[in-house]
Amino acid sequence: MDRNALCNWVVILVTCVFSFAEFRDRQLEERFIFWPEAILGGRQYYRLLTSGFLHANWGHLGMNMFSLYCFGPGIEAVWGGTQFLVIYLAAIVGGNLLSLVVHRHHDYRAYGASGGVSGIILASVFLFPGMRLRFYFVPIPIPGWLYAVGFLGASFYGMRKQIGNVGHDAHLGGALVGLYTAAAMHPGIVRASPALFAAISLGTALLFVYLSRNWLILPAGGIRIPTFGKVAVNSGLPEYKRSEQEMDAILAKISEKGIGSLTAKEQAALRKASEKYRRRAEPEKPKSGLTL
């Protein structure tokens, strides 16, 4: 084991152990998977990080960990283990934050280390400007800058068109956050490749302009994508959003036609909601009888 890549190996080991435990216990998956409803409605913000240590299957895990094994040691050898971890974990969270924006109105679940790996790869491209990448299906090496531009463009296109069973939004967000985190700690990588950094920054600005004008990027209707990339289910509005819409409709009906117009089902839903808000409004008396 390369001692200069100790943190990289620790991340691989922890991810493999956690993913193996998840393969054997689906309740673990449900507890830690990326899920906008649980994050926004249940305030379970830890899922933005923990989902990066879960995977769909052995193939998914193997692909991500092999990529991390190839690119992680270079980052750690030059910048150290602490900065490697900062870039990797920031990229996981950043990728999931972009997914949260894109999928906040969908019943959508996702997992995988792809966002973190994408951040490490893009940071490596800038750390080693002369890098050339080889792929089995391409007969000649690809310059690192061309790979970076192509990867970001393909990720945005895949996110927009919902191509395949891959969380393109997490890849895109993770790559950008990984790069900007590395650039914040080491501005020299920007000076080494100013044109490429400017092109990526311009593309990032245009991406957020696009998002600001197209908040509902994906339809509320469902897709199911459970295997190779970073994601699983999108099957309509989450429950808390549906409940809000149903209650809005009931209140509008009461305003227009009176409470007597409600059906038995609507009356039951109204009583249930009233009881819930009444319980929230009444402070619970401590069992000890002491006032707090």
Which pLDDT tens digit goes with each residue over 73-85? 999 999 999 999 9
Task: For the full predicted model, state whether its pTM sits above 0.75.
Answer: no
Annotate 18-50 with b (16+ C-beta within 10 A) or e (fewer).
bbeebbeeeebbebbbbbbbbbbeeeeeebbbb
Which pLDDT tens digit goes with each residue over 245-255? 677 777 777 87
Structure tokens at 203: 């593309």
Which pLDDT tens digit goes with each residue over 63-120? 889 889 888 999 999 999 999 999 999 999 999 998 898 888 777 888 889 899 989 9
Which pLDDT tens digit goes with each residue over 32-45? 999 998 999 889 99
Q: Please, which pLDDT band fits residue 13 given cuts at 50, 70 and 90?
A: very high
Q: What is the mean pLDDT of the chain?
A: 78
Structure tokens at 283: 């402070």
